[in-house]
Structure 1
Amino acid sequence: MATATVAAPSREKARRRAARRNTGSALLFLSPWIIGFAVFTAWPLIYSAYLSLTDYDVINDPSFVGFDNYVELFEDPKIGLALSNTFTFMVIQVPAYVVVSLLLAVLLNGAGRSSGFFRTMVFLPKMTPPVAVGILFLLLFNGQNGLINSGLETVGIDGPAWTTDPAWVKPGLVLMSLWTVGSSVIILLAALQAVPEELYESARIDGAGRWHRFWHVSLPLISPALFFIVVVNTIAGLQTFDEAYTAFFGAGNSTYSNDAALFYVIYLFQQAFQFLHMGYASAMAWLLFVLIMAVTAVQLIVSRRLVYYEGEAGR
């Protein structure tokens, strides 16, 4: 009895030592990520919050001004213009992106043995550098001799001035953004291929046609993947920069209708690196962070009614 009493604490100490060793090993393996996160994410976040309360031009030391930068945000007319452009672009782009991605995924899902080749072809444009996409936009959507308007002219349609008419700048950029749907297509294709075949068979036996099988079987089961794509592309839409900046603002470009393409992050970039208003740009960045968090929170709330998670079906 005494031996067993002594052995129990010894085993407990051994387990604690093993747990500490495992924790130490885990922290050691995680340390590159922890250090990277602290240096390249956490510290810039904290420092930008501080800079947002200062007047800082990079050359001179920051001068504390309190919440003056945030007050100026609500007085700057270009903030309203940039936010309006950004949200308009996002509202058009996200549904178009999701619909095109889903359509291509459904087509690839029925492609059989050749789906591997077509998957590669669909994904390859995603590898195109954003700057190249911006230049390609000007070549394709040029109002006088662009390939898009030339194609429309062959069928008797007078194409719009995509790059100079403010009403068509954002729709043109939306169409150009569909060039990179490849990653979303692959995600949705994987979700479609994960739908159990027996569910389709049961629906066929019940007399459901192709459309009803898609609407009542496929769509609910791939809704988590769809929701992920909506959230990710909403965040990306609110941070639109590369293609629009290259096409309308790069290299001092002043030929085109810049105001229609002045997205929020472009204006933030101008304030930070052209005008050296780093404190004001930091305040802009924090406003964008709050807006993204708010939009994502609304999407998460809405998703409770629209997204089906198989593991929660019995709850």
Structure 2
Amino acid sequence: MAPQASSMVGASRVNQTVPYGIRTPRWRSALSRNGPGYLFLLPWFVGFLGLTLGPALISLWLSLTDYNLLQAPNFVGLANYVRIATADGKFIASMQVTLLYVILSVPLKLVFALLVALALNRGIRGLPVYRAIFYLPSLLGSSVAIAVVWRQLFDGDGLVNVALWNLFGIEGPSWISNPDYSLYTLVVLAIWQFGSPMIIFLAGLRQIPTDMYEAASLDGASKLRMFFKITLPLLTPVIFFNAVVQTIDAFKAFTPAYVISSGTGGPINSTLFYTLYLYQEAFGFFRMGYAAALAWILVVIIALFTAFSFLSSRYWVHYDD
């Protein structure tokens, strides 16, 4: 005990001889240790504050104003949100079109992407070439050029109707100008852009151990049973990721509806996506404050969907642990 007591006394004397005023502050020592890391993160912080957080806060403030780009914003409180909820029929119409588009396009795209990924996972030759070919529509599908080509394909005298007449003798309608079919042409365009989820599905399939299939085959399980009992359960994290990402992208779809309908959302608002209606309010009628309120409602809708997806994932998404 005596040596311990003497060491404690010595340590206390050392602490007494070091004046408190010349000690290095905690923040300064942390900055000296982590300074290079903060320096490398500085461009990200500048971009986040200047291009993401700052504009978002300004948009939130503009949603509480009446602003037309020519005059100073006039604060109106929650008047824009009240009008959206009570007196805007086009808001309801655009939400119905967008929800129908999301409900149809996302599941069909994921199913088609999974089927193609299963076919490519069978070990065919030239797999990198096929992956590149199938991924190409995801890179080009949201461009203006592809939307123009799509409008020409599904026009009254377009290639689709020409093929229907020459092959089957069927006189097809004008898919773009008919409100009963116009939205479905955009759904087909969305399904055609299956390359991105397909690549992710293919990567998930490559991670499933082959010995599980071998054991199931020895037990007499069929291919269909192995798909539902092995492939799908082990692929649920990838399905969950693709579903969330593709649904958010579907809510934000804009270019195809704008180009195919020439910015009108017609015919009879059948392709009036929510983002297209937001664009019309902002740059067609210069109601920037009202458009900002519409944008924040879309943010809330996407956030609620994402939160619901994560809360429900515990019941159907299976991880290794």
Fold shared by both chains (TM-score > 0.5): yes
Task: Tell me if the contact between 1:248 and 1:258 (Cα under 8 Å) persists in the aligned partners.
Answer: no
Count the aligned residue pairs: 305
> CA, structure 1 residues 22+206, in 2 after alignment: closer, same or farther (shift >3 Å)?
farther
Q: 2:310 aligns to what?
A: 300
Q: 1:68 aligns to what?
A: 79
Match of 1:193 among 183, 186, 206: 206
How much does 1:101 deviate?
0.7
How much does 1:95 deviate?
0.8
Amino acid at match of 2:289: G
Matches within 5 A, 1:163-242: 163-242=176-255
TM-score computed with the length of structure 2 as normaliser: 0.88
> CA, structure 1 residues 134+199, in 2 after alignment: closer, same or farther (shift >3 Å)?
same
Between the aligned partners of 2:173 and 2:219, the Cα distance in structure 1 is: 49
Between the aligned partners of 2:33 and 2:109, the Cα distance in structure 1 is: 45
Q: Radius of gyration: which is bigger?
A: 2
Q: 2:90 aligns to what?
A: 78
Task: Tell me if the contact between 1:249 and 1:258 (Cα under 8 Å) persists in the aligned partners.
Answer: no
Between the aligned partners of 1:216 and 1:5, the Cα distance in structure 2 is: 66
Q: Deviations over 1:239-263 (max 9, x none)?
A: 110111011124xx79x61511111
Aligned-partner SS, 2:126: helix
% identical equivalent positions = 38
Amino acid at match of 2:117: A
Amino acid at match of 1:70: Y
Between the aligned partners of 1:18 and 1:185, the Cα distance in structure 2 is: 48
Q: 1:34 aligns to what?
A: 45
Between the aligned partners of 2:210 and 2:200, the Cα distance in structure 1 is: 19
Amino acid at match of 1:65: V
Q: 2:54 aligns to what?
A: 43
TM-score computed with the length of structure 1 as normaliser: 0.89
Q: 2:21 aligns to what?
A: none
Counterpart check, 1:265 vs 2:275: yes
Between the aligned partners of 2:170 and 2:244, the Cα distance in structure 1 is: 36
How much does 1:20 deviate?
4.2
Counterpart check, 1:104 vs 2:116: yes
Between the aligned partners of 1:180 and 1:39, the Cα distance in structure 2 is: 32
Aligned-partner SS, 1:142: coil
Counterpart check, 1:285 vs 2:295: yes
Matches within 5 A, 1:102-141: 102-128=114-140, 130-141=143-154
> CA, structure 1 residues 66+18, in 2 after alignment: closer, same or farther (shift >3 Å)?
closer
Q: 1:89 aligns to what?
A: 101
Between the aligned partners of 1:111 and 1:156, the Cα distance in structure 2 is: 40
Q: Deviations over 1:55-81 (max 9, x none)?
A: 001111101011111111021110000
Q: Deviations over 1:105-137 (max 9, x none)?
A: 111111433211100110112221521121011
Between the aligned partners of 1:146 and 1:111, the Cα distance in structure 2 is: 38
Between the aligned partners of 2:60 and 2:83, the Cα distance in structure 1 is: 16
Q: 2:36 aligns to what?
A: 25
Between the aligned partners of 2:30 and 2:11, the Cα distance in structure 1 is: 22
Deviating beyond 3 angstroms after TM superposition, the runs of 4 or more aligned structure 1 residues are: 1-6, 15-22
Between the aligned partners of 1:278 and 1:20, the Cα distance in structure 2 is: 42
Q: Deviations over 1:177-225 (max 9, x none)?
A: 1221111110100000111111111111111111111111111111111
Counterpart check, 1:244 vs 2:247: no
Aligned-partner SS, 2:208: coil
- Give the unaligned 5+ runs of structure 2: 1-5, 19-23
* RMSD (Å) for aligned C-alpha atoms: 2.5
Between the aligned partners of 1:17 and 1:38, the Cα distance in structure 2 is: 24
Amino acid at match of 1:56: Y
- Greater fraction helix: 1
Amino acid at match of 1:77: G
Q: Deviations over 1:72-113 (max 9, x none)?
A: 102111000010110011111111111111011111111433
Amino acid at match of 1:295: F
How much does 1:16 deviate?
9.4
